[in-house]
Structure 1
Amino acid sequence: MGPSVIDFLATERRLGTYNYEPIGVVLSRGEGVWVWDTEGNRYLDCLSAYSAVSQGHCHPKILAAMVEQAHRLTLTSRAFHNDQLAPFYEEIAALTGSHKVLPMNSGAEAVESAIKSVRKWGYEVKGVPDGQAEIIVCANNFHGRTLGIVGFSTDPETRKHFGPFAPGFKVIPFGDAAALEEAITRNTVAFLVEPIQGEAGVIIPPSGYFTKGRELCTANNVMLVLDEIQTGLGRTGKLLAEQHEGIEADVTLLGKALSGGFYPVSAVLSNNDVLGTLRPGQHGSTFGGNPLACAVARAALRVLVEEGMIENAARQGARFLDGLKDIRANTIREVRGRGLMLAVELHPEAGRARRYCEALQAKGILAKDTHEHTIRIAPPLVITSDQVDWALERFATTLTQDFS
């Protein structure tokens, strides 16, 4: 008999850093939308590892690509070429309409790479005076946890006692085009923004916001940088969330689902000369663009398209959203979402969302709370109508539950 749940949790508390507060379940297996804990209990995964497992747990075709490549070649560093990088470039560029690709590993690395690139472009192409480049970001943003990124976060918990921080960032309200227009100066090189603010609680901007933002960036020679690390690759029912308003970013950041949940891989995609200013030795990554990552990403993109996951996200997302809106519960303040990126915000008097997530766990659903009163819901894009309906029954029971 192996370790118990209590044993696993006790070891984590003893040896691990207390920088997460997970739901009290120890998972050991996954397949499709389902995961199983060490005691054999099955759960519908409504988080998808923050959208990294969009193609479903242990997708057989991505697994096969990973195993095959692992037998052949895993890492060369970028000191040499490998036979998976060029095909990865071709396939992701064709799919997204991009002109240049910079492969990295984590989403945060993609964000940092974009920040460096747009600053360099600003100095060498736009003509911004050295050291004066400004990047506009939005309040309640979440772009990662590196020192550079948390410096322009507005969440006190991510900033406290980590300073001093790098200058060069200007914070404006999310969804306010007038504030963007007012913030732009001759030294502005980029507007870095999430199409939907995920960590903030699935906050969707007003219709037309990104159309106007695109116009302002074009008029002022400012790079529109869309962080699609969570929203991209089908999560919102489109390949990229920018397509909901028919715009194109200058720079697009992808990660999470680009890996299918198998191996860290991210990418900076550019539609212009932003990435063209980088020269050998000025930026890089030992693991970025490695053959194993490229083989995994190629398979992850392929199944996303070939198996109709993007279209399914649109269909099932609409079904899930309508079902959540039909729940008549005094606890619910607002239901919102796009595709399979959904949230239920509770009234503060209903108590912390955490206890509702724990109640959902007892009913076979794993979801995650954010910002005290919001439940995030983001199942894998392979979820079926029957599974959505099964989940909705349990959400309805939980959200109408009396915790007093």
Structure 2
Amino acid sequence: MTATWKQRLIEVEVGAVAHGGHCVARHEGRVVFVRHALPGERVRVRITEDTGGSFCRGDAVEVLQASPDRVEPPCPFSGPGRCGGCDWQHVSWQGQRELKAAVVSEQLHRLAKLDWEVIVEDLPGGPEDWRTRMRLAVGPDGRAGFRAHRSHTVIPVDHCVIAAPGALDDVVDRTWPPKAELVVTRDAGGQVHLTEIGPPVVRRGRPVPGPARRRQGSGTATELAAHRTWNLRADGFWQVHPAAADTLAGVVRDWADCQPGERAWDLYGGVGLFASVLAEQVGDQGAVAVVESSVRAVEDGRLTLSDLPQVSWHPGRTEDVLDTPEFTDLPPDVVVLDPPRKGAGRTVVTAIARSRPARVVYVACDPAALARDIAAFAQHGYELAQLRAFDAFPMTHHVECVALLRPVR
């Protein structure tokens, strides 16, 4: 058995950026995934994880030769062994977007066999003060914070540079029950909603989250996007960047390009953000079918879009709902999908392709999942026609993409 390298200090030349917030280096024939480094740098790395295989993980603890894109992290809780929420605080904002573009391009090349030039566009507001939804953990000392990278260790904080102003004011200056979790939302109206989830309890031999108690706010968040006011549960899904929802809705509007009287599907539709855009386009004589597995999101969406009778709601798992006669017998003209991080998968891609829509607009928060699904669409005769990428998560490795796919002519 190979001796573990854990805690070993090595010196490496840092290679290309990889998906996941790290760069790739090599040492003594092994791959080392290095955080807190940049391509082209020479650094000393402390190995943090090693299971004895072909790769290990480590943190750059000393920079011997720095990249021109390296900057001083604005947050004192950022760095090796500290808060794991931000991956790129040591990188200039322009450099962050270039790294993300490189990752998206690499995933498309490797998984979808496409050579595609990617430009990651910024959203208004800069790289700080943007995150409107957060989940914090409480450490043994009762202080709230964020977990270290790939760890259950809680790093207490007294502020967060990417948090929306005021979101954490009533969270970080007090103590909480150890092992509790805190869900914080700052909505478009500036109201902060805070829910405390009690420490886990054991039921039938399994730990489950403790009881939830609202500590601040009404629990109903008000958001603005796509020329509408949205009222949804504060702990429900909504884009975390204040400009993201409206930006993505605008791209969907342009690329869906539904005509009056057409039929559209909005898959993984949430509260119906994209459905509202599609409904405007298809008009009273058209139809928009929303598929969403969260019953609570469907309830919120039905209330918000009650003035749009052309929108129908179909609660359930997307792969199950698409297999019902209402969907197999009534093919759409356009499909919009916004799947979770793991992507849509072959079953859903096959069901969409089988219905032969003229356009598929795919909203993705994970470039690897997007590339895999684009490859699956290609097997059914669809090609990537356009792609836009947005820096909806500054300081982190995450990036939001929208892809337009069309049948190959």
TM-score (normalised: structure 2): 0.33
Which structure's relative contact order is higher, taking Cα pairs within 8 Å and 6+ residues apart? Answer: 1
TM-score (norm 1): 0.33
Between Structure 1 and Structure 2, whose CA radius of gyration is higher? 2
More strand by proportion, 1 or 2?
A: 2
